[in-house]
Homo-oligomer: A and B are copies of this chain.
């Protein structure tokens, strides 16, 4: 961004001055003037039409800025109205499609032209909106709003498809920049790390520093050149001497750090997406693999790359299985043992906790290896992410997370997924094609023996 753009952006964009960079005649063309009335600013949809028109070519940047600012200042109804107009009036041009189909009749090669003939005009509109300074971020936020209406207004789905298609191109991994986030990172970015952390909430700046500054901690994020102070996704890493079985020690503020050179294991203990408006554009896969390569290059002693991951669907699944007396996913002994789960504070009672260890791990093994959801998938979303990346389920940790949330969602269970670059491709393919879950033998051995 140039200095002139930056100074423009830093000013609050009041609607009154929004169009100042439009030429005089530009304004006259857009402002509506009814008999005897003062001229009215244009509707959002009129601005969209103007931006797509021939005239828009000459003052595209100013018009794009104007439309985005007007959208920003409009009320919720006007905004939803605009999104609906996009759905209804900015689809493919039927005449163009018809002509393209006619051409195919006598020239099969014309099939190639069908794609562009059928392009919804929204896509060009979005590309032109992207001309504005800050346009990319504004469009990501526009889609975030759009997503919140999808359920109530399915006709917006087609608009969302166009957003998703373009974002897939614009946020191609080739355009993302991996950056190390540490205690020298600008506060404006760090406060977003605090805000967006989705796995283990960051309590305050001291907690944040504890995850960034010690010699055995790392944090990496993907940034896009057009959104320089917004990490799109970030991962927090602990460097350790062994695969950890619980998150408490990792986050302990009084922990004594080790030297990075002494570490043999890198633990990805939190990975968070930040932009709801980028839903469906997948970065995590690339991020983890690139961080593995970074760490390998920087610290050759590190040979093991694992996660310490929550199992968010386990407790719900287990409750359903217990409720369903016909289910053979858990056996009678387990059912009896699980009654202890209903006793508050069981995890603080060593005897009870130990009594639950084997039954819970057996149920967890079943959950990962045998249970499938309504769509035939591994039921756990985090498992699907890592297994889909080609990772292997390496270990299950009883009482790995005894926070309120950890107990509620997974009875304290945490697991480690192992990223072995030499095997991710085979794992990925087997999982994608046949649903085979790559798991260490210790997991299978935990299955109920019956």
Residues of chain B within 8 A (CB-CB) of A293 are 4
Q: Which of B127, B389, B422 contacts A24 (CB 8 A)?
A: B422
Report A208 CB to chain B, min CB distance, Å. 8
Q: Which of B2, B12, B94, B226 contacts A175 (CB 8 A)?
A: B226
Report A187 CB to chain B, min CB distance, Å. 5
A97–B294 Cα gap in the complex (Å)?
Answer: 43
Q: Is the CB of B158 within 8 A of A425?
A: no
Residues of chain B within 8 A (CB-CB) of A427 are 58
Given contacts A423-B23, A433-B54, contact A91 B114 (CB under 8 A): no
Q: Is the CB of B158 within 8 A of A424?
A: no
Residues of chain B within 8 A (CB-CB) of A165 are 116
Given contacts A57-B428, A425-B25, contact A111 B97 (CB under 8 A): yes
A297–B120 Cα gap in the complex (Å)?
Answer: 38
Q: Is the CB of B183 within 8 A of A131?
A: no
Q: Which of B118, B259, B432 contacts A57 (CB 8 A)?
A: B432
Report A358 CB to chain B, min CB distance, Å. 34
Report A244 CB to chain B, min CB distance, Å. 23
Q: Which of B136, B259, B424 contacts A174 (CB 8 A)?
A: B136
List the B residue with the shortest CB-CB distance to A27. Answer: B425
Q: Which of B23, B54, B59 contacts A432 (CB 8 A)?
A: B54
Residues of chain B within 8 A (CB-CB) of A4 are 290, 293-294, 297
Q: Is the CB of B131 within 8 A of A178?
A: no
Instruction: Tell yes or no: A443 within 8 A of B by CB.
Output: no
Instruction: Tell yes or no: A61 within 8 A of B by CB.
Output: yes
Instruction: Tell yes or no: A147 within 8 A of B by CB.
Output: no
Q: Could you say which of A58, A127, A169, A229 has the most chain B C-beta atoms within 10 Å of its C-beta?
A: A58
Residues of chain B within 8 A (CB-CB) of A54 are 429, 432-433
Given contacts A25-B425, A186-B184, A187-B190, contact A115 B92 (CB under 8 A): yes
Shortest beta-carbon contacts, A-B, top 7: A58-B428, A225-B225, A115-B118, A184-B186, A130-B174, A114-B118, A112-B158
What are 14 residue pairs bridging A and B, where the CB atoms are less than 8 Å apart in the complex?
A: A1-B177, A7-B297, A11-B259, A25-B422, A60-B286, A92-B114, A101-B101, A111-B118, A118-B118, A130-B172, A169-B169, A175-B175, A183-B186, A184-B229
Known contacts A26-B425, A127-B172, then 17 further A-B pairs from the complex at CB < 8 Å, ordered by chain A residue: A4-B290, A7-B297, A55-B429, A58-B390, A61-B289, A115-B120, A118-B118, A130-B173, A131-B174, A131-B286, A133-B174, A136-B175, A169-B170, A175-B225, A185-B186, A191-B205, A191-B209
